[in-house]
Each structure stands twice: as C-alpha cells, then as structure tokens.
Amino acid sequence: MVVTVTPNPSLDRTVEVPALTRGAVLRATAHRVDPGGKGVNVSRVLARFGHPTLAVMPGGTGELAELLRAAGIQPVSTPARGVTRVNTALVEPDGTTTKVNEPGVELAAAEVDVLVDTVAVHAAPAAWVVTAGSVPRGAPDDLHARIVTAARRGGGPATRVAVDTSGPALAAAVAAGPDLVKPNVAELAELVGHPLPRLADVLAATDELRAGGVGTVLVSMGAAGALVAAPEGTWHCAAEPVTAVRSTVGAGDSTLAGYLLARTSGASPADALVHAVACGAAAVGLPGTAVPGPADVDVTSVKPASAPPESLDLTGEAA
C-alpha cells in the first residue's frame, strides 16, 4: 500500500486552444477536468495499476472527492479553510502548456497539525508514504519535513518516505533525510544553488544530497529521461522522444509512481527506472492531467538503464 499526501490538492482544468494570443477571446477546441495535485496524481497512477493507495489531503471534498472515488481512490480529508483550487492549463496544438495554479486552501497551525498527525495514523501499513506538491498558504516551509518525520513515527519497519516538492520546502525536506526525493533538473539546481548544464553536474548534485542523508535521488529530465542515484548504484534511462506531446502536466508524478510501483514489486533501481521513464513518456502522450495505466505503458520500447552519459548536455544548446 502507498499513502500519498497532497498538502495543496487541485482540480485541474485543461483547455485546448488553437493558439495562445494575449488579450484575445480564445475558443476552446477541447476541455477536461482531472483530479490534481502531485500526490493525488501518484495515487491515480497507482490506482490505474490496481495498486492499493490512500490519498491524504486538506479539504479534498466535493467534486475532487467524487472524481477520486470514481478513479477508485479513497480520499482522506483533513480540515482546511477555503475551497479546493482550480489549476488551469492552456494547451496549444504542439503541446506547449501555459499553466495558472491558484493559491488553494489555507491552513491554520492547528490544521497543519491535524494533517501531519493524520499521516502518522495511516502510515503503518504503507510500503511508501509520498508527500508532494506546493505548501498551502498558512503552512510552514518545513511542512513536508514534518510529514517525513510523522511518516517515520507512524510507519512500520518497512515504510519508506518519498518527497517531491521545490524551493525552501524541498530544502527543509531534504534535511529530514527522506528515503527518496524526485526533483526535476530546475528544482535540483535551485536546491544546490547553481545551474546543472550537464549530466555530470546532476550526478555531482545527487552525490551531495546522498552524502547529506537522502537515500535515493530520482531526477526527471524531460525528454532527456531520468536518472536514479541509489545506494545500489547510479543509472540513466530515456525513452524515444515523444513527438506528439499532448500535455506534460503530471509526467513527473507518473515517473515517480512508475518507479515506486516497480520497486514495491521487487524490481532493482535500474529496472524500476525503466518503468518510471516508460510511465513518464506515456503521460506526455495523454491529454490534460490524464495519467497512464498498464495499457498505455510500453516498457519494451525503452532501452535498459545504463551508466549515465556524463557529457550529456541538458541545456538543449549543444552544437
């Protein structure tokens, strides 16, 4: 079982437009609404694969709860002020996505405590507790760090904790020594305080995090695939670039879910990375915040993970 925590859940509204023109009235060619928020998306992938999951979040009632139940996920709601935010993605035909994320619910100190304690209550049977996404208004920067500690306190001997967030919240969470973090390259660069133009720079950054007490670092790198730096070793893997990108929203969450699904089934970090990359590639071919299931994911189309090509340029500026 995997428990996910989404401190700032959302309803993701995706509107496809012929072109994004500032100041114009745009006529949508398609639209959809998906449950959203990073932890929620991880639960949605797990549910599509038939893996048991519980999604903890402040608020998360009304339409979001209905959509989650329809997806086979039982939401665990904790008290919050305000309503679930609506995050809007404007998607152009080539997949270019402009996203507007609302601030979302607000938490008083007591509501933060309830969220953190609820994680401890549900952590015992979990193989993984995943805490992910932005920190809502009113909550402290160390919210994910507190959730890591709560998951450890309430979890069983086999419970592991993964974090996917950014900025000061990621820095605080890393200091709590989670078993896994899943930054993208920009988030990792902000964390270590300098740009990471080549894969060698990403590797050095993952070494730094692991030396500081993080167990595994899973770095998603867009079309350049993903890298895992684990106690067992370091591997890189990339899918064939998806040319028909529908929406990249949720690709990182699908990558993380794919990795955890494979690891809980006993796969090695290298094989789990292949599954993670296949899930990420499948996600970008799906509209809006649709997440992949087994029928969408083709592991055989992804080459086995290999030693990281350290000279790989990640800026897209190589000659």
Ligand X SMILES: O=P(O)(O)OC[C@@]1(O)O[C@H](CO)[C@@H](O)[C@@H]1O
Ligand Y SMILES: Nc1ncnc2c1ncn2[C@@H]1O[C@H](COP(=O)(O)OP(=O)(O)OP(=O)(O)O)[C@@H](O)[C@H]1O
Q: For residue 84, state whether it binds ligand X (rule: CB under 6 A).
A: no
Picking from 35, 34, 29, 36, the residue whose alpha carbon sits closest to that of residue 15 is 29
SS3 225: coil
Q: What residues between 167 and 206 interact with ligand X by CB under 6 A? A: none
Residue placing its CB nearer to ligand Y in the complex, 47 or 251:
251
How near is the Cβ of 45 to ligand Y at its closest, in Å? 11
Closest CA to 309 of 296, 300, 301, 318: 318
Please pick, from the candidates 249, 284, 286, 297, the single residue that binds ligand X as defined by CB under 6 A.
249
Of the residues 43, 53, 87, 255, which one makes contact with ligand X according to CB under 6 A: 87
Active site residue 253: yes
Q: Choose which of 9, 58, 280, 288 interacts with ligand Y (CB under 6 A).
A: 280
The residue whose Cβ lies closest to ligand X is 36
Residue 101's binding partner among ligand Y, ligand X, none (Cβ under 5 to 8 angstroms by kind) is ligand X
| Binders of ligand Y in range 237-266 (CB under 6 A) | 239, 241-242, 245, 248-253, 255
Residue whose Cβ sits closest to ligand Y? 252
Residue 28 C-beta: closest distance to ligand X, Å = 18
- Annotated catalytic residue, options 142, 253, 271, 296: 253
Q: What angle do CA 16, 41, 37 make, to 5 degrees?
A: 75
For the residues of 34-98, what is the DSSP string, one character each? EEESHHHHHHHHHHHTT--EEEEEES--HHHHHHHHHTT-EEEEE--BS--EEEEEEE-TT--EE
**CA–CA separation, 80 vs 59, rounded Å?**
5
> What phi and psi, each to the nearest 5 degrees, are found at residue 92?
-90, 165
Active-site positions read 253
